[in-house]
Homo-oligomer: A and B are copies of this chain.
Amino acid sequence: MQDIGIGLVGGGYMGKAHAVAYSAVGAVFAPRLRPRLEMVAASSVESAERYRAAFGFRRAAQDWQALVADPAVDAVVIASPQATHRAIAEAAFALGKPVFCEKPLGASLEDAEALCAAAEASGVVNMIGFNYVRTPATQYARRLIAEGVIGDVTWFRGEHTEDFLADPEAPATWRTDGEANGTMGDLAPHMINAAQALLGPVESVMADIEIVHESRGDTPVTNDDQAHMLCRFAGGAMGHMFFSRIATGRKMGYIYEVNGTRGAIRFNQEDQNSLWLYKAEGPEAERGFRQILIGPAHPDYLAFCQGPGHGTGYQDQIIIEARDFLEAIADGANRWPSFKAGLDVAHVLDAARKSHSNGRWQPVVHT
């Protein structure tokens, strides 16, 4: 059992989630490398110190530069805003330190391209924070599709819908400003990643993107409230994706439906411990979507609980993610999803934005 010093940048929503994950992952998965919560950085040294005390890190950093450079920091976890991702990751790569970066991969397609290139050039382990595909149910859905259980896939429907800005009276914040913080920048990446994980590459898209509430208070809103797109997948399937932060009543509508020639799958993250599977086999009278309760027979569940149907939650995905990052470092080889997967998503977003501007189908660049 060898330990590894973790440096965490950011102590907000996701910073805390990673802090908990690196505290728990050792006991859950007994990975070869045991994380040591070495250092945390934030936007000020005071907040860094607050996070240190709360989460149990050894030291608070002056700033992220100090954290990245610190010799006791062996790997860097970036959980600060999108605009900061690129500089931090590039600095870490320059020192040969593995990087885990929260989604999206930087604030723009350019960032994503640069980050991917830097990662490859450095040769060190890199990973992007698409945590929802790690839910045991979605890992299992992916396997079912790959094994052909539902036959050839003909249709995909995905959405990522929440309602945190559904109220037109909700005030403007940083979330209502800047492309990278809109629905396409913030929510879409998770579901686009899922689509790619489940069906393979998206070939072309035709999108419609909308600012529904054009100002909040006196402040203009500069990014999209909802967006959707027609898709054509390289594998031949048709599809549709929808993203919204104004979907009243939806709290975590990470929802997908996949139709195949021999079966179908349905999933909703709001009930993340059920996967719905239909198999077109057996007597017609006995057919129906079955609610599979996730348990030890499904990927990465057993480490959390021996009993089926007892359930994993949001935080557990981040623990699985931490395990994967640690094991990738131990192997010295990337595990999916690396930065490359972040760039794949960025290309779809870019094509969607172009198609919205010009009102035409747009091919998606593949790299």
Contact = CB atoms under 8 A, between A and B. Distances in A.
Interface in A295-315: 295, 297-298, 304-315
Contact of A248 (B140, B262, B269): B262
Interface residues of A, number: 98
Interface stretch (A71-79, A93-101, A236-244, A332-340): A236-244
Q: How many copies does the complex hold?
A: 4
A293 interface: yes
Nearest to A315: B304
A253 B140 CA distance: 22
A19 B304 CA distance: 11
A289 B291 contact: yes
A284 to B, nearest CB: 4
A142 interface: no
Contacts of A291: 288-291
B269 A168 contact: no
Q: Output the residue of A155, A269, A271, A313 with the most chain B CB within 10 A.
A: A313
A305 B315 contact: yes
Contacts of A250: 264, 309
Nearest to A24: B24
A221 to B, nearest CB: 14
A308 B261 contact: no
A230 to B, nearest CB: 5
A27 B34 contact: no
B259 A240 contact: no
Interface stretch (A49-57, A115-123, A173-181): A49-57
A287 B290 contact: yes
Interface string A255-291: 0000111111000011111101111100111111111
12 contacts: A23-B24, A23-B27, A154-B225, A166-B259, A167-B261, A206-B206, A229-B230, A248-B264, A284-B295, A284-B297, A286-B290, A307-B314
Q: Which 8 A-B pairs have the closest CB atoms?
A: A251-B309, A249-B278, A313-B313, A252-B309, A288-B290, A290-B290, A285-B297, A288-B292
